[in-house]
């Protein structure tokens, strides 16, 4: 994967041998004659820079074709187009807020009904399927924001028995760490806004499709509805791909350490990170993914404490999104998942005090020190006193402080039971 991320199949011929793919920042293409069109006529219908990105993604995902959209939500909307009025969709009950909004507020207007099930339980899907009516199953693994793991191959087999297509939203792991088409899925969606771009400077979404006939239907909607990604954003996404393995490996290594540290912290009640052996989905995850990734969440039991952690952290910026080189922190119920009505969030068991962290590529000792000071302030705020495992940095300076942090990180690393790579 690390090699394939750097070496893309070339789909455009360039007389100058440019190492960085040329950027065709054009809306239209001059035609050979009034009655003949070359390979491209109009960027909404096709553009060589987008074609280059799409070919690279198809190569990474093992897809017949891939498609780049203006955002992850535009890509998921195109998937919803594959379902007709009167048909039925089954989705998880812990899903990204925007996907939930699409399914609760857009799908019904299209005459599509939706059921939400706990995807950690394969039987839940079987029971939710309406024979002859269920045409699409939408999965996330890990889920956003509770990082639940579903057995993609098992759920796909159940969906296929019923004649339904399966789309897996793989935004949290990207092809670097998980390739759902190889597990049987029909379509994989990755928000390129996250790890693929990697620098918080692009919004984009990718669909990779196994079956060429299904791919043709997806292309139809990309062109008909004008949702394709613009050339410059495609170019930025391609630049991001080259360093994606390096970034994601570093981010995951940092997240492993932070998850272990949080797990031992008295203020972190429940740490959701599939890289931890204690995570209920860890064993399934290890069969279908090669890393725990770098997104994790935890509860504190107090909204005030959670808010204080987010607001007192200095390196972790309060920001929606994830997968960036810089570390981010959020309270999903007030940010990425605020579009889900509070009653529905409560019904789905999404706690208001949940803190979500996207771990970046910074030095892990700085990240731990930052979380340490923010969590101490949160404990003070709610009047909680408890011994904090790990390190006491107060009063230490310079090399003493650094040594203390490095020792703690070495201890945590020694405890790591890494997933197979």
Ligand X SMILES: Cc1ncc(COP(=O)(O)O)c(C=O)c1O
Ligand Y SMILES: N[C@@H](CCSC[C@H](N)C(=O)O)C(=O)O
Q: Which residues are catalytic?
A: 44, 96, 169, 194
Shortest CB 358 distance to ligand Y, Å: 8
List beta partners, residue 187.
167, 209
Q: What are phi and psi of 28, to 5 degrees?
A: -130, 165
Distance from the Cα of residue 6 to its chain's centroid = 21
Shortest CB 195 distance to ligand X, Å: 11
When the beta carbons of 140 and 249 are compared against ligand Y, the nearer one is 140
Euclidean distance between CA atoms 313 and 374, whole angstroms? 5
When the beta carbons of 43 and 99 are compared against ligand X, the nearer one is 99
Alpha helices in 162-294 (DSSP H): 174-177, 212-224, 231-263, 282-288
Euclidean distance between CA atoms 257 and 276, whole angstroms? 10
Q: Which does 339 bind (CB under 5 to 8 A by kind): ligand X, ligand Y, none?
A: ligand Y
227 binds ligand X (CB under 6 A): no
Binder among 24, 29, 67, 96 for ligand X (CB under 6 A): 96
- Beta carbons within 10 angstroms of residue 352's beta carbon: 16
Window 163-222: residues binding ligand X (CB under 6 A): 169, 171, 191, 193, 203, 205
Window 113-172: residues binding ligand Y (CB under 6 A): 144
Query: Of 402, 384, 385, nearest to 393 (Cα)?
Result: 402
Euclidean distance between CA atoms 192 and 61, whole angstroms? 14
x/- letters, 272..311, toward ligand Y (CB under 6 A): ----------------------------------------
Binder among 26, 115, 243, 339 for ligand Y (CB under 6 A): 339
**Nearby residues of 24 by Cβ (< 8 Å), 6 or more positions away:** 43, 47, 48, 49, 231
x/- letters, 36..75, toward ligand X (CB under 6 A): -----------------------------------xxx--
List beta partners, residue 356.
297, 330
336 binds ligand Y (CB under 6 A): yes
Tokens of 99: 């996907």
Which one of 60-68, 150-158, 209-217, 314-322 is the stretch in contact with ligand Y (CB under 6 A)? 314-322
254 cis-preceded (ω within 30 degrees of 0): no
274 binds ligand X (CB under 6 A): no
When the beta carbons of 145 and 231 are compared against ligand Y, the nearer one is 145
- Beta carbons within 10 angstroms of residue 278's beta carbon: 10
Binder among 92, 98, 293, 390 for ligand Y (CB under 6 A): 98
When the beta carbons of 260 and 296 are compared against ligand X, the nearer one is 296
List strands edge to edge, sheet with 317-318. Answer: 270-272, 295-299, 355-358, 328-330, 317-318
List beta partners, residue 114.
89
When the beta carbons of 8 and 79 are compared against ligand Y, the nearer one is 79
For ligand X, the binding residues (CB under 6 A) are 71-73, 96, 98-99, 140, 144, 169, 171, 191, 193, 203, 205
């Amino acid at each position: 994967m690390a090699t394939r991320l750097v070496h893309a199949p070339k789909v455009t011929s360039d007389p100058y041998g440019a190492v960085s793919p040329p950027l065709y920042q054009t809306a239209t293409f001059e035609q050979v004659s009034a009655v003949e069109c070359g390979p491209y006529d109009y960027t909404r219908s096709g553009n060589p820079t987008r074609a280059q990105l799409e070919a690279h993604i198809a190569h990474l995902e093992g897809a017949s074709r891939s498609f780049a959209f203006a955002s992850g939500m535009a890509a998921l909307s195109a998937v919803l187009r594959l379902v007709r009025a009167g048909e039925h969709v089954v989705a998880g009950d812990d899903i990204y807020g925007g996907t939930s909004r699409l399914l609760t507020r857009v799908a019904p207007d299209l005459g599509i009904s939706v059921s939400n099930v706990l995807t950690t339980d394969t039987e839940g899907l079987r029971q939710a399927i309406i024979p002859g009516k269920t045409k699409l199953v939408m999965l996330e693994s890990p889920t956003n924001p509770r990082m639940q793991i579903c057995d993609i191959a098992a759920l796909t087999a159940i969906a296929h028995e019923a004649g339904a297509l399966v789309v897996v939203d793989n935004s949290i792991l990207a092809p670097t760490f998980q390739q759902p088409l190889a597990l049987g899925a029909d379509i994989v969606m990755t928000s390129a806004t996250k790890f693929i771009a990697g620098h918080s400077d692009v919004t984009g979404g990718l669909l990779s499709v196994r079956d060429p006939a299904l791919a043709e239907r997806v292309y139809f909607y990309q062109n008909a509805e004008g949702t394709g990604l613009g050339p410059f954003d495609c170019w930025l996404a391609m630049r991001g791909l080259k360093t994606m393995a390096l970034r994601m490996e570093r981010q995951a290594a940092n997240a492993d350490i932070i998850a272990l540290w949080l797990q031992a912290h008295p203020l972190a009640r429940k740490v959701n990170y599939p890289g931890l052996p204690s995570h209920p989905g860890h064993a399934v995850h290890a069969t279908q993914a090669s890393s725990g990734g770098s997104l994790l969440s935890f509860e504190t039991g107090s909204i005030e404490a959670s808010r204080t952690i987010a607001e007192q952290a200095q390196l972790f910026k309060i920001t929606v999104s994830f997968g960036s080189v810089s570390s981010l922190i959020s309270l999903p119920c007030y940010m990425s998942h605020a579009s889900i009505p509070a009653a529905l969030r409560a019904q789905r068991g999404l706690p208001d005090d949940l803190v979500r962290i996207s771990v970046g590529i910074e030095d892990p000792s700085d990240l731990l020190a930052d979380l340490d000071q923010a969590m101490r302030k949160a404990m003070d705020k709610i009047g909680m006193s408890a011994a904090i495992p790990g390190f006491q940095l107060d009063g230490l300076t310079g090399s003493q402080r650094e040594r203390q942090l490095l020792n703690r990180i070495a201890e945590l690393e020694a405890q790591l039971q890494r997933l197979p790579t």
